[in-house]
Every structure is written in C-alpha cells, then in structure tokens.
Structure 1
C-alpha cells in the first residue's frame, strides 16, 4: 500500500511554498500535479484513486495465487469460480451473443402490455428493466420496520437537465449513446433497419420520462422523499400496469402504504405507460436489456458497451479484460472479497484502534455541541441525544450476510446465466424483507471500498478498512496528519447527522422534527450561506451548483472544524501538517468530461474546492500560513461560514 508520510512541522515535499497564500491546494500538490498521469482506463487519478488501484493490484495478485490452491473457505471458493468464469474470455468470445438471446426472445413474445404484465413479476425479480422502481428500505418515520418504496427509473442521459433545449451536451451524448447501441443491437442479431427503429422508439420513450423525474439537485433534498400513499392511491396511478396484483406477488401481502419518492412521476405514469406507447416501451426494454448485459458477454460486447460511459467520463480506453473480470466478480461477491481484504490487510488490532479514534472524535463533537452558541438548550440536548445514539462500524462486518451462501456457481453455465440467477436471489431477498425488522448493523459498502458513509435512516457511520490507511491514517504519521486525514473524514460523516438532510432525522433515524422553529430558521440561514459560498464558483468551464452540493459542504466544514479542534488538543500538534494533509487527501487530476459530469450530478463539490474553500473559513489557517488581505486564499471574516 502507498505510504505518504509527513514529518511534523513540514509541508509535503511536493508543495510550492511561494504559492500557499494564493492557491493552497495547487501549492501543496504542485509537483504531484505536474507529474501525475491519469490511467487510460480511468477518468481520474489522485488520493482516493491511488488507494483503489493499489488494492486492485494486491487483490488481483492474491486471487491469481488462490486459483492454484484449495480455497480458504466455501464462500471464497464460489467467488473464485465466478471470477474464473468472468476471466475466461476465450469461452465468452466463443459464446458471443448466445447467452443474451433467451432474454431477447422473451421480449419478442410480448405483443402488448397484457403479455408483459403476465410476466412482470418474474421479469422484475430477474432484475430486468422496468419504467418504475420498487424497493424495500427502512420506513422513514418508523425505521425499525422495512417499508415499500416506489421511485422513477434512470434515464439514458445522466440527468433530466441534459434533455433541456439549452444543454448542448445532451444531443452530443445521445448521439454517442445511439451509435454505441447501434453496434450492440446489430451484434445481438437485429437488422440495421430494425435497430434504427428500436433506437428511435426507445429514445422517444426515454424522453417521455424525462419531464416527470427529479433532477440530481431535486433528489438531493431528502425532505421531499417521504410521500406515503395508501395501496389504493398508489395502484390507481396506472390503468395499464396492474400494481394491485404485482405488489402482493412481490412482497407476499397487500401493504397499507407505499412511500413514493417521486410523486410527480407517478401522477404522470398513466400518460407514459399506455397501450398506444407499448411499441416504444418494448424498444426501451430491448435497449436497456442489451446494454445492461453487454458487460457479461464477449470482449467485443464489453468494450463496445462501455463507449458511452467512457464518453461521459473521458476515460481513453476500456479496462483490460482481466481487470474488468476482477471488478465484475468482486462486485458480485463484494462482502466476501471485503471480508478477506479487511481481515488480512486491516485486522482486529487496527479495527479496535480506529474505533477508539471514532469514539474520541464523537467526544470532541459532543463537547462542541455542548458549547454551541446558536442552538437553544432544547435543540442542543436533542442533538446530543442523537450523537449518543450514533452507531459505529469500522473496518469490516463481524459476519458476512447469509445471502452470499446462496451464491453457488454453475461452472457449466455462462457468466451471464450465473449473474442473472444471483440477481434473482438478491432481489427476491430484498422484497422478502418488507415489513420485517430493519437490520441496523447491515453494511452497504464492502471493506475494500475506499469510502465512508452516514446512513440517516439508521443513524450509523461506517468506515471500511480500505480508507483507513495513509495518507488518511497511519500509526507512523504525526497525529496532526491523521486528524487532517481520517479525523476530518470521521467528523465529516458525523456531521452528516446534522447537515440539511441528516438534521431532519432523529436519534432512531426517523424523519422527525426535533428542532425549535427559531433554531431551524437559523440553521437554514447558515445552510443558505454555505450554498452561497460555493454557488457559481467557476470550475472546468462551468460552475458549481451550491444547492446540489450543500449537504456535503456542510459535512466537510463540520468535519474539518471538529478535526482541527481534536488536533489542537494533542501535545504534538502542528497545524501546518494538519492543513497540508487535508489538501493532500483531495489531490485529484481528472478528465474534463468527468469534471463536467460531476458538476451536473455529484452532490460533492470538486476536490480542489473541498480543499481550498473550506480552509478559508478558519482563523487558524490564516495564522498558520500568514494569509493576508489581497492574497488569493483570503476571505473576509464576514463571508466565512461556520455551522458546526
């Protein structure tokens, strides 16, 4: 694993001291930015991505060696079988489109909505495309029990805003998508004339969805997610799809309510999915089916099926076949791979050490809440109650989900056949959890994932093993470097419990207002100030959407503030080291196309701005680096934003 270490009292060796006051991020990462190269098969490189690549190389080497030995456990054994199937491109190339054909023949038999409706339960359980989404998750107002959720499907373009007449990227991307699908459909056996008609109809259907679905900015507002409807109210949304029959078939009973996250979409549903539009829907099913399965077929299918994704991200090449096989297999057996990685490369001792650090950061956060000068006593006390009930998950789960024991590989069947069987098992398992107790401690990220998260419905923070290494964390780094890295990440996730979305949920994860009216109004003013601090900042030929990114920016600000206080409490405190590591963990070099995409749909601000804008809010930063009025990094005191 890469080890990036800093001596106490110094900045990174790659920093340019002369520019610290004008562009902190660029100065700290100067030499790295000059020499870093984006891998041809990736859209970006940087702190997070370096760790991803190191883990990928390590695990690919480990699993290659394991293929020649007896598996260490039955679950690893099944993973290795699946990995071998995914990596057998000789067989995949020989099979070509054959594994796909049963699904296309299935669609071909549908002459009308009634035909599709008769097969809809199995179609949906097989994970095949539908123009709506049904899922099971914790009831947002009673998070001890799982409820049924209904939402809208994904679009061909990344966001509904790409369909707007004034968005020049939309038509360009749609053309790339169309050209890619033309090749895939013809490889699947459709004639050129049929392919052209299928694409014309599928795109027309997709465009009919776009006006009624939420944009990324709208979806970022959790307060608009909870729209419960009775079973009768929901099933009345369609006179063509028999939801009153489908839903009990899926969950085994008639639910009292369905939580609709996109009510506008279902209000329009009966105008979209109609008898007259069935030919459009059928073509949309074909396109989505072929596209989603292309990665499980021959190498030609896999490479061509990634053209649109590479256009979106700016990646120059497809992944090499063997690497793609690793990601495909590791994605299917994510907890199995994560368990192996976490236990071998992280271990119980590190797990206990980081758990202590999380507890310590919660303690610092609690003290800050107790001393908060803008919350009333009532709201402050309830915030502390929420913090006291925050669940902590570090490293890797104690046990792997029982679901993975059902993933037995048929080595005589195709890769796609196995994948589809696993999809059916997974989806059936999810629907079986309706009206059952929520498993609060269930992990939603594997231990080999370089990331972390807060779950508002469960009030838990989760730190997979993969992020718990240098430059984020190391026993050999000074404490200030650790606080500027993993300390800020830990406190970032804690802060999500109190961002504009997390603050809507109580200590049990229930959507419940625990704020006084005055405190809520003031918090909204502070959140608006954070929106204003980022909104409109020029970046990558476009500009930042402060409303889309506000929750993550509030979490960054709270995380850095809390970590800074913790660092200052250590005997070896060095704020140069603290701020330097903060800028280092965000170092990123990305393709322009990827930057544009993220500006449109990502709830996170660009990495450079996460590093630069946040430090401008802290007086300690100005003192540490002698930043003065007129310097590029200077922000007038009245414009600085402080929330948590």
Structure 2
C-alpha cells in the first residue's frame, strides 16, 4: 500500500479527464484501486487549508497569534498574497512547484516535437508522437473514437447475450486495462511481496460513494455535473436527446447502486477488508454463475487454480448478480459510457469539451487550463517515466540524493531510538519494529531501473498516420501485455509506482520503501542553500511522515519484507489499537470552514503527521537546532488556499486532514511546541489531550 504525502493541484491528479474525473471518480475504469491499500502518500489533502472568499475567516485571521492559530499566524500574509487563478482549484506549494516542473516539461516536449529524426521507440520519439497527435484537433475529430473503441462499441451493441457482452468486455480489459463490469489485473501478493497475484475489479461506480451520497451542497453539484457529463457523452455516441437523458439516468442509477456496496475510503487502506482471496475457478460462484471461468482463462491466459484478490467483495458480488439477460440492454449502455468517460480526453474534441465542462462545474474553477497544458498533463500521465527520465537528466542533481540521504539517515536513527523509548511496547515487538526500520528501502530522486526499458513501445506520429486515441491504446496494450506475460515471474521490486517529476513522496508497504521523488526536492521543501532548520521543517517532516507510515494502522500490518504478517504480540497490538483510537477521537469533528474532519477516514495520515513532527522535534532538541524555525518551516509547506467546491470534495473523499489541521492539530500535540510558545488552557492552540504513538 502506497501512502502519499500529497498536495499538488487536482488538475494534475488524472490524465486529463481532468481533475475531478480523478479524485472523485473511483479508480473503477482504470483498475488503479487494486493498489489503493498498498501506497500511502502525503499529498492530496494538503490542498484543504483556507477556503477562498472566506471573508469572516480572513478578518479573524488578521488577529491570529501563534498561541491561538499557528497556521494562520505563520501563513496568513502568504495566503493573502496568493490569488487562485481562474483555471485553478487551489493554490499551494505543491501546485506551484508542479507548475514549475510542468513548464520545464513543456519546453522539453516542444523542443522534442521539432526533431523528426528520432529513433523509433525511444522516449523522445514516443513523447513526440503523443504530443503531435494530441495537438492535431482536426485529425482527432476525423478519427472520432478511433477504430479500436468503435469496434468495441460495435461488439457491445451486437452482443445477443450476457456471455457475448462479457467476452467483449474481458478482451477490452485484457488488452487495454479498462473495465466496467469486470477487470482482471496483475499485482503483488500481500502475503508474499516477492510473488505476483491476480486481482479483480468489478462495477465502475463512476464517483466515490462519499460524493454520490454526500449531504454537502458542493458535492451534490458535483454528482449532478457528472450525470450531465454522462448525458452529453450519450449524445456524442448518437443517442437522441430524449434517449440520452434516459440512458444516462439509468447508468447513473446503476453506478449509485454499486457505490452503496463499495468500500469507504478509509476501508480501502485496510488489508483485512481488501485481502479476500479466491481462485479463478471460484470467481464463477462469486459472480452468481453469471461469468465463465473458462472464458477468463482463455482470454487472460490464466489457470483455474491461480489465486485472485477480490478487494471489494460485496460490490463484486452485487455486480455479478446484475449480469442477467434481463439487464442486458442496461449493461450495454453502462459498458459503453464507462469506456467513453475513461477515454474522452483522448478522443474527438466534442468528448474532450464535455469532460472540460464537467471539470468546471465540479471544481468551481472559472475556466480550464489552456489545451496544450492539459495535453502535456495527459502525456505525463501516460508516458510519465519517459518524461521523468528526460526531466531528471536535465534538472536533477545527484548531489541532492546524497544530501537528502543524510537527512533520511538522521531521521531513521532518531526513529529507532524512539522505538527503544516506547513505554507501551514490549521488547519482542520492539525487536520486530526495529528490524522493519532497519530493512527500510530508501529511494530518493528517480529510479535506477526504468519500466519503459522492459518492453517495446512504438507510437506513431502524424506523418506515419498516428491518431491520439490509437497511441494511447497502443501504450496501454503494451503495458497490459507485459503485465500478463510476466505474471508468473517474481515481483519486480525495483519498479517505482510514481513518476520522479511528481511533486510528492510516499511509503510503499509491499516494498517497505520510502520514496522521495525528485519533484518535491525543491524549496520550500528542500533547498541545498537553506538552513538545517528549514530543511528539517520541510523535507525532514516529509521523511518522518513517510517512515511513520510503516507503522500506522495499515502499514503496521506488513513486515520488513513487505509481507502481510502479524508481527505484534497480542497485548501490544491491543495497546496500539487503543492509541490509534485516541488519534481518531482527537481529530474527529475538527472543522475547517464549517466542515468536519472524519477521524476514521484520516487516521493513517494523521498518525504519520504526528510521528513525523515528533521525530523532527527530537532531532532539534538533541542537536540544538532552533525549534521555532523548524515549526515555522513546517507550517509554511502546508500553506494553502482553495475553492469551496474543491474543499468540499477533499473533505468527503481524502484520507488526509485539511492542511490547516495538519499544522495546528499536530503542533498542539507536541509538548515542546506548548513549552516554546507558553501555550496555556484557553489558548486556541491548547489541547487537553495530546495523542502520541510513535
């Protein structure tokens, strides 16, 4: 499970079907949620800090002091100087730095596009092909859905039975990784991180259940905008306006029905809920006898006794029960709309425009980013490591790896001593925890091994007859082919899930690794010319956060090898769960702009925030650093301003607390902070209970 540090702009999170067709859309449709319980990040929630236009809050902020509202006292002047641009949903350091990265990538891609004499299949050649075919709007309009998607839609329309529909859907999923009713993927086994295992996704919900069933007005508007998107896509597919209204409504109702059985965001990080294993043969019964295991074996090249993880068991069962002949007309409509929404950024410009309109309505932005910028975001999503290798060659210094490595060593050493000092943990469990820490795989900057070197990919430029949608599908098929062709090989632990130019950091529990990406190694997070305090308050707390993820309620279920194994004594495990419950209670109900935080939904990230800052605080105390400067630097990296609609979406679906709470709640739980600023009962930064685990 990856756990991301996170905070960049939403527009970046997806390959463009843009911002909210990413965080709010469930991973259904791309199969990405098969890894949702494997990677924890520090990003996403970083953008929820101070809602734009909150005049009353701004008036109060003028009088804020460090003792009453530390986040406001440190950041208000900076936040007031920021203006959310018409094409932005938020303004924060993650977005600002990602803009800088993207500007550099734009220069690289433009220059590359002017060089026709490139080796076919090279990073540069494939980037050039994607850029030029993507920019050719006339060709995109003429090509429409492209031959592959058009043929798939024809197969769906012609299906005379559920079996025929499932065959078309399975083949499309096997070839291109996209799914609606059924998807099969290859991933890493929770119980044996050296081995691969299959996983099933079934039932595209369209949006997260937290959005579909939200009481918040902004989230309800988002759901309405999504339904309008489906209706527009129906018109593009050739339905009449009247038919489009009915088809889109029926599809949305099916998605909502499935969403009721989907796991909550917090549950997706709990392997006890997501690690449900059966065999390929047993999938037939799981789907109420409505799919054929023999068909799965034939299309995917798997065996009946191959093991499969079914992460969302109840939703999968429900999807299976709906695969009936009576539902065939509805299922056909649903399947086509799922594929269309997932691919509309790569198709004709009518499909692109429909997604762009949804983006505006759902995000609260006044306008979308220029077409070229959004295209380059798409390209970085599809060819992220190709772009990343070129970016790092141009803009990343290996000296940074060495310098940040020294900070990581310092944090690990301190964390190790903190484990020794725990009064609630037995020696037996401490030994296991220290061993896990000692085996931590530290990754900084960029990978040494690049995924694109593992298989051949040749994309076609316009002069070769290339079309944007075809290039996208060609790249998707190459990746899917490689995945299934190597499914019986050991898991490749050298691969990084995220691209190096991304402004982020994460912990991967199945590799027991922390990954500090090149993109985040910029000021104010890291600056080789900054003081030790500034770097400790910035990248130091990020590092501490990621290390603590190895020991949060999710990461603590995995051992030093990344295997799902209970290494705790029963008594220590019970104490740990009690302490985690105190963290949940501490955060539960904290408010930003009248919206309450869910302590349960955000518990893993909150534990990581608390542990990271506690570790850096101890380093400061032991080394004689200026703790005030460290805390100021920490508060600064979380400065954020966002639109109301975006904040509402984050509060509903994000596993991170809003950035204001990531500062104030964390520092209020530090005795050293209380002593430094003479915090007393009655002060805004005073908290009677100060939760601490690590």
TM-score bucket (shorter structure): over 0.9
**1:97 to partner: Cα distance:** 5.3
Alignment pair present for 1:116 and 2:165: yes
Alignment pair present for 1:40 and 2:40: no
Report the equivalent of 2:365. 315
SS in 1 for 2:184: strand
Report the equivalent of 1:624. 676
Alignment pair present for 1:88 and 2:140: no
Q: Match for 2:526 among 469, 473, 484?
A: 473
C-alpha contact 2:544 2:615 (8 A) present in aligned 1: yes
SS in 2 for 1:130: coil
Alignment pair present for 1:306 and 2:356: yes
Alignment pair present for 1:640 and 2:690: yes
Equivalents in 2 of 1:293, 1:265: separation in Å?
Answer: 24
Matches within 5 A, 1:64-79: 64-69=110-115, 74-79=122-127
Q: Match for 2:506 among 444, 449, 453?
A: 453
SS in 2 for 1:491: helix
Q: Match for 1:358 among 390, 405, 408?
A: 408
Stretch deviating more after TM superposition (446-455 or 335-344): 335-344
Matches within 5 A, 1:424-435: 424-435=477-488
**1:150 to partner: Cα distance:** 2.1
Report the equivalent of 2:611. 558
Report the equivalent of 1:178. 227
Report the equivalent of 1:3. none
Alignment pair present for 1:252 and 2:302: yes
Q: 1:171 to 1:68 in 2, by over 3 A?
A: closer
Q: Deviations over 1:330-360 (max 9, x none)?
A: 2111011111222321222212222232222
Stretch deviating more after TM superposition (482-491 or 59-68): 59-68
**1:187 to partner: Cα distance:** 2.8
With structure 2 as the length reference, what TM-score do the two structures score?
0.86
**1:248 to partner: Cα distance:** 5.2
Alignment pair present for 1:387 and 2:437: yes
CA RMSD, 1 decimal: 2.3
Report the equivalent of 1:5. none
Report the equivalent of 1:208. 257
Alignment pair present for 1:516 and 2:569: yes
Q: 1:609 to 1:18 in 2, by over 3 A?
A: closer
Equivalents in 1 of 2:395, 2:152: separation in Å?
Answer: 41
SS in 2 for 1:214: coil
SS in 2 for 1:498: coil
Q: 1:72 to 1:449 in 2, by over 3 A?
A: farther
Alignment pair present for 1:49 and 2:130: no
C-alpha contact 1:133 1:151 (8 A) present in aligned 2: yes
SS in 1 for 2:550: helix
Equivalents in 2 of 1:203, 1:606: separation in Å?
Answer: 30
Q: Deviations over 1:234-268 (max 9, x none)?
A: 32123221134314531433334222212222333
Q: 1:641 to 1:432 in 2, by over 3 A?
A: same
Equivalents in 2 of 1:56, 1:579: separation in Å?
Answer: 30
Q: Match for 2:345 among 270, 277, 295?
A: 295
Matches within 5 A, 1:405-444: 406-411=456-461, 412-444=465-497
Stretch deviating more after TM superposition (169-178 or 454-463): 169-178
C-alpha contact 1:391 1:460 (8 A) present in aligned 2: yes
Report the equivalent of 1:127. 177
C-alpha contact 1:147 1:258 (8 A) present in aligned 2: yes
Q: 1:222 to 1:191 in 2, by over 3 A?
A: same
Q: 1:102 to 1:232 in 2, by over 3 A?
A: closer
Q: Deviations over 1:537-591 (max 9, x none)?
A: 12233210000000000011111111122233435x1111100011000011111
Q: Match for 2:193 among 143, 148, 151?
A: 143
C-alpha contact 1:157 1:173 (8 A) present in aligned 2: no
C-alpha contact 1:150 1:261 (8 A) present in aligned 2: yes
Alignment pair present for 1:397 and 2:425: no
Q: 1:97 to 1:458 in 2, by over 3 A?
A: closer
With structure 1 as the length reference, what TM-score do the two structures score?
0.92
SS in 1 for 2:623: coil
For structure 1, list consecutive stretches of 5 or more residues without a partner in the other structure: 1-14
- The alignment of Structure 1 onto Structure 2 pairs a total of residues equal to 626
C-alpha contact 2:186 2:197 (8 A) present in aligned 1: yes
Q: Deviations over 1:195-224 (max 9, x none)?
A: 233213312322331232212132232321
Equivalents in 1 of 2:117, 2:377: separation in Å?
Answer: 19
Stretch deviating more after TM superposition (152-161 or 140-149): 152-161
Q: Deviations over 1:149-193 (max 9, x none)?
A: 2234441232256237x6766764443223223223223333223
**1:29 to partner: Cα distance:** 0.8
Equivalents in 2 of 1:325, 1:18: separation in Å?
Answer: 42
Matches within 5 A, 1:575-614: 575-614=627-666
Q: Deviations over 1:106-134 (max 9, x none)?
A: 32222321222333442112234322332
Equivalents in 1 of 2:317, 2:234: separation in Å?
Answer: 33
SS in 2 for 1:306: helix
Q: Deviations over 1:295-325 (max 9, x none)?
A: 1134443132133343333232222111011
Stretch deviating more after TM superposition (88-97 or 455-464): 88-97
Alignment pair present for 1:23 and 2:69: yes
C-alpha contact 1:143 1:438 (8 A) present in aligned 2: yes
**1:274 to partner: Cα distance:** 1.5
Equivalents in 1 of 2:515, 2:286: separation in Å?
Answer: 38
Equivalents in 2 of 1:608, 1:251: separation in Å?
Answer: 50
Q: Deviations over 1:460-509 (max 9, x none)?
A: 11111011111011111110111111011011111011000011111111
Q: 1:101 to 1:387 in 2, by over 3 A?
A: same
Equivalents in 1 of 2:146, 2:277: separation in Å?
Answer: 43
Equivalents in 1 of 2:584, 2:201: separation in Å?
Answer: 27
Q: 1:301 to 1:121 in 2, by over 3 A?
A: closer
Stretch deviating more after TM superposition (310-319 or 96-105): 96-105
SS in 2 for 1:513: coil
Report the equivalent of 1:235. 284
Equivalents in 2 of 1:187, 1:118: separation in Å?
Answer: 25
Report the equivalent of 1:273. 323
C-alpha contact 1:129 1:289 (8 A) present in aligned 2: yes
Q: 1:215 to 1:154 in 2, by over 3 A?
A: farther
For structure 2, list consecutive stretches of 5 or more residues without a partner in the other structure: 1-60
Q: Deviations over 1:592-623 (max 9, x none)?
A: 11111111111100111101110001122123
Matches within 5 A, 1:100-115: 101-115=150-164
Report the equivalent of 2:583. 530
Q: 1:448 to 1:404 in 2, by over 3 A?
A: farther
